[in-house]
């Protein structure tokens, strides 16, 4: 055990590795603020200044921290966080867990929140069966269907159910885009320790009990990635592990996919999701309205569901827009209001210029706070996040320089960059925030 108060000889090598693994912003904002305060067996205990820090580190940087600890090879294998001034370890305890369950799942994507209709009842039953009995009769499970029809929702529902009901099973959920980026990052580097990370990456994916890959179509045209995936796939199947894949097309229509992968995929069971019919659309709208704690009159639901051929994401977006308009104008939900809200969107789509005021108004409306909250100085969590989202959207949607964005929001240039980077990182790891940002963007763009 190290002498209390001086853990630098253990912690400095970890810091060095961390510097290579995280963005400079994350490093200077979070990692540099951590203070090593103790060693407890195989754990290093790090003190964070606030609870928010601890949450961010646990939610976003924990995997990197573990990676750095292993690479530093200083006799430590994990870490715990303690918030300055509080007693006991927090956040990443309990540490006895053998592995981290995925943090990239949207907790709202559950079977309970999924509306079953004629368009998706088979695939729903198959997905539920996989969640109840992984590596049973549906393995691999291949789900395909057009965009916005519920593939991600359903396969994350499998993950969410297993994580809560069978916590001993290791679930990995990844988009094929993320898988591709990781593999490619590793392949084209000459740095030995990054190559080393490659084998750890391989081990990581091959250690899954359930591997879920979303939007597999992105690996077409990428031979080396397909090769890597092929081996992962075979090894997992040979070990009797479950694989779930989603795609926007069936395997036979993915011409750039290697034949042997296509054969593997087709060797399992293929299920398609179709667009919902009118009744299912109504049921979905009711469920979504309930989630938003809104009562929407039947005639408005009918109006929204009338247009056939829509995907569920569009349907949900329309509902959000109408509810938003009703709150904005403080008018009850009616067909007239809905028609207005949506026709505005149709007739003006894309033409109207987006202004800082539009963005601030949309963000404030979405989070039920005021414009002054956004421009003010409150440090409350409920205000800070919307304010940062506002910065992010202004950077994304406006073509004005950062300094002007700063002036509009009464913030300096560094704060704007920090907020932009933070939200862009959060969007990557937190589906809920990604969806909020997307919804607000659609409101602003009047899509």
Contact residues toward Mg ion (CB under 5 A) are 151-152
Give the number of residues in contact with ligand ADP, rule: CB under 6 A: 17
- Terminal Cα distance for the chain, rounded: 60
Could you tell me which stretch among 30-38, 112-120, 299-307, 410-418 binds ligand ADP (CB under 6 A)?
112-120
Structure tokens belonging to residue 53 = 């820090």
Q: Cα dihedral angle (273, 276, 282, 287), rounded to 10 degrees? A: 10
Sole window of 36-44, 147-155, 368-376, 413-421 interacting with ligand ADP (rule: CB under 6 A): 147-155
> Does residue 48 touch ligand ADP according to CB under 6 A?
no
Q: Given the rule CB under 6 A, which of 6-14, 130-138, 146-154, 371-379 is the region that contacts ligand ADP?
A: 146-154
Answer for which of 159, 305, 312, 341 binds ligand ADP (CB under 6 A) is 312
Edge-first strand order for the sheet with 35-40 is 35-40, 43-48, 78-83
Residue 313 contacts ligand ADP per CB under 6 A = yes
Residue 425 contacts which entry, Mg ion, ligand ADP, none (Cβ below 5-8 A, type-dependent): none
373 binds, among Mg ion, ligand ADP, none (CB under 5 to 8 A by kind): none
Q: How far is the CB of 61 from ligand ADP (least distance, A)?
A: 26
Task: Report in angstroms the alpha-carbon separations of 50 from 161, 214, 388.
Answer: 32, 35, 19
- With binding defined as CB under 6 A, does residue 80 bind ligand ADP? no
CB of 106 to ligand ADP, least distance (A): 8
Contact call for residue 316 and ligand ADP (CB under 6 A): yes
Segments of 225-296 assigned E as strands: 242-247, 269-273
Beta carbons of 75 and 10 less than 8 angstroms apart: yes
How far apart CA 232 and CA 205 sit, in angstroms, is 7
327 binds, among ligand ADP, Mg ion, none (CB under 5 to 8 A by kind): none
Rounded Cα distance, 290 and 45, in Å: 43
Shortest Å, Cβ 45 to Mg ion: 39
Concatenate the DSSP letters of all residues of 36-78 into one string.
EEEEETTEEEEEESSHHHHHHIIIIIHHHHHHHHHHHTSS--E
Residue 268, interface with ligand ADP (CB under 6 A)? no
Residue 320 interacts with ligand ADP (CB under 6 A): yes or no: no
The reply on whether position 319 binds ligand ADP by CB under 6 A is no
| Tokens (6 digits) for 330 | 């403080």
Using DSSP, state whether 175 is helix, strand or coil: strand
Closest CA to 139 of 130, 128, 151, 149: 130
Residue 26: which H helix or E strand, with range?
Answer: helix 24-29
Our finding on whether 147 is near ligand ADP (CB under 6 A) is: yes
Nearest distance from residue 311's CB to Mg ion, in Å? 11
284 sits near ligand ADP (criterion: CB under 6 A): yes
Task: Give the one entry of ligand ADP, Mg ion, none that residue 19 binds, where binding means its C-beta sits below a cut-off of 5 to 8 angstroms depending on kind.
Answer: none
Report if residue 250 touches ligand ADP, rule: CB under 6 A. Answer: no
- Widest distance between CA atoms in the chain: 73
Those residues whose C-beta lies under 8 Å from the C-beta of residue 439, and which sit 6 or more positions away, are 317, 320, 366
151: contact with ligand ADP by CB under 6 A = yes
Q: Min. distance of Cβ 440 from ligand ADP in angstroms?
A: 15
Residue nearest to ligand ADP (CB): 150
Residue 386 near which of ligand ADP, Mg ion, none (CB within 5-8 Å, type-dependent): none
State which residue, 57 or 212, has the beta carbon closest to ligand ADP. Answer: 212
Q: What are phi and psi for residue 211, nearest 5 degrees?
A: -110, 125
153 binds ligand ADP (CB under 6 A): yes
SS3 185: helix
CB of 81 to Mg ion, least distance (A): 33
Closest distance of CB 145 from ligand ADP, Å: 6
Residues 6+ away with beta carbon under 8 Å from 118: 277, 280
Inter-residue contact 107 to 432 (CB < 8 Å): yes
Give the nearer residue to ligand ADP in terms of CB position, either 284 or 362. 284
Backbone phi, then psi, for 221, in 5-degree steps?
A: 75, -5
What whole-number distance in Å separates Cα of residue 77 and Cα of residue 70? 6
Q: How far is the CB of 113 from Mg ion (least distance, A)?
A: 15
Least separation in angstroms between residue 114's CB and ligand ADP is 4
- Binding residues for ligand ADP, rule: CB under 6 A, are 113-115, 120, 145, 147-153, 284, 287, 312-313, 316
């Amino acid at each position: 055990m190290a002498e209390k108060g001086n853990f630098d000889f253990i912690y400095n090598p970890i810091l060095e590795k961390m510097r290579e693994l995280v963005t400079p912003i994350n490093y200077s904002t979070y990692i540099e603020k951590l203070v090593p305060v103790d060693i407890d067996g195989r754990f290093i205990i790090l003190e964070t200044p606030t609870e928010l820090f601890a949450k961010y580190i646990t939610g976003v940087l924990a995997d990197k921290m573990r990676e750095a600890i292993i690479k530093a090879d200083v006799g430590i294998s994990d870490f715990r966080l303690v918030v300055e001034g509080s007693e006991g370890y927090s956040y990443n305890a309990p540490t006895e867990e053998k592995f981290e369950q995925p943090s990239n799942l949207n907790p709202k994507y559950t079977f309970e929140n999924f509306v079953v209709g004629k368009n998706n009842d088979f695939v729903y039953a198959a997905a539920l069966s996989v969640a109840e009995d992984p590596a049973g009769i549906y393995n691999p499970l291949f789900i395909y269907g057009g965009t916005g029809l519920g593939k991600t929702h359903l396969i994350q529902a499998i993950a969410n159910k297993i994580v809560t009901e069978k916590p001993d099973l290791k679930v990995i959920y990844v988009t094929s885009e993320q898988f591709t980026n990781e593999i490619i990052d590793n392949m084209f580097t000459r740095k030995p320790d990054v190559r080393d990370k490659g084998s750890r990456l391989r081990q990581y994916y091959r250690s899954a009990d359930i591997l879920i890959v979303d939007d597999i179509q992105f690996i077409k045209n990428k031979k080396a990635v397909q090769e890597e995936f092929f081996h992962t796939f075979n090894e997992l199947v040979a070990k009797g592990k479950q694989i779930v894949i989603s795609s926007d097309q069936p395997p036979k229509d993915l011409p750039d996919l290697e034949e042997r992968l296509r054969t593997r995929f087709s060797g399992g069971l293929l299920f398609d999701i179709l667009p919902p019919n009118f009744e299912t659309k109504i049921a979905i709208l009711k469920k979504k309205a309930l989630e938003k704690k809104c009562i929407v009159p039947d005639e408005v639901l009918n109006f929204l569901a009338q247009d056939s051929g829509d995907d569920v994401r569009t349907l949900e977006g329309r509902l959000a827009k109408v509810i938003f308009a009703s709150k904005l104008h403080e008018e009850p939900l009616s067909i007239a209001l809905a028609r207005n809200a949506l026709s505005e969107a149709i007739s003006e789509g894309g033409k109207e210029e987006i202004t800082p005021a539009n963005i601030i108004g949309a963000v404030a409306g979405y989070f039920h706070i005021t414009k002054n909250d956004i421009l003010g100085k409150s440090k409350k969590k409920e205000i800070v996040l919307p304010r940062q989202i506002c910065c992010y959207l202004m950077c994304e949607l406006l073509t004005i320089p950062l300094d002007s964005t700063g002036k509009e929001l009464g913030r300096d240039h560094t704060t704007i960059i920090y907020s932009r980077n933070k939200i862009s990182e959060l969007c990557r790891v937190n589906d809920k925030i990604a969806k909020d940002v997307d919804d607000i963007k659609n409101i602003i763009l009047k899509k």
